[in-house]
Amino acid sequence: MSQFLKASSSKIGKSPGTIIYTGKARSEPVRIEVISYNKEGITTESNVSVASLRKLAHSSKGIVWINVIGLHQPEIIEELGTIFGINALVLEDIANVNHRPKFEYHGSFLFITLKMLRMHENLISEHFSIITKKNTILTFQEQEGDLFDSIRTRLKNQRGRIRGKGSDYLTHALVDAIIDNYFPILEKIGDRLVDLEEGIQDSDTTELITKIHQNRRMIITLRRHLAFT
């Protein structure tokens, strides 16, 4: 909560459309990877400069997927907005990791922001945004690691219909991967609650209450994110 309040206070007094990263401080450089593909072939690049993306802005030789890993350099997000014609209010939402999931149509592009969830000891929620244009998709994630390895494999090996479809199909695949991952997390939390119920007679009361509260917070977080779907 203190992190949320600190992030929110940093936006007070700023004009709408001001790009402010509201997540945890990070020192690693933002990295951009690009996958370009069509029915005939696919190319991948793992460390792409922003300047080199200008020639991709009007690409018509297939689909270009630009994945931005890291939201902590707002100047990069702003420059991408200039290159690809993304308005400032959308760019603000991309950098604001506390923003709730939403879906918007802006005429020349579609904007989706949602949470990519992972489960370890606790629930990890990562802000993720998608800009879908005619032949280009831009995705923005907070940090390295995501849920899309199976999609990259399908693209590389030309499995299924994905290489022959448009940017809307890739968008659907990305959102589908994120939402599908919610359900194993729900099952894992359910299993934890069953274990708590079974051990309620033998557990230390303080420890038990702490675990119940942790799981309750995770369920509330999941409910808030699932409301988008």
Token reading at 150: 């199976």
pLDDT in tens, 200-220: 666 566 676 677 777 777 776
pTM for this one?
0.82
- pLDDT confidence band for 224 (50 / 70 / 90): low
Question: In the beta sheet, which residues pair with residue 115?
Answer: 127
Q: Please tell me the predicted confidence (pLDDT) of residue 187.
A: 82
Using CA atoms, how far apart are residues 150 and 145, in angstroms rounded to an integer?
13
Using CA atoms, how far apart are residues 77 and 191, in angstroms rounded to an integer?
40
Instruction: Please give the full DSSP string across 120-172, using - where no structure is assigned.
Output: SSSEEEEEEEEEE-SSEEEEEESSS--S-HHHHHHHHHT-TTGGGS-HHHHHH
- pLDDT confidence band for 138 (50 / 70 / 90): very high
pLDDT in tens, 84-108: 999 999 999 999 999 889 999 999 9
Across the chain, mean pLDDT equals: 85
E strand residue ranges, the chain: 31-37, 42-45, 63-69, 102-105, 110-119, 123-132, 136-141
Task: Give yes or no for a contact between 166 and 216, defined as CB atoms under 8 angstroms apart.
Answer: no
Q: How many CB atoms lie within 10 A of CB 162?
A: 16
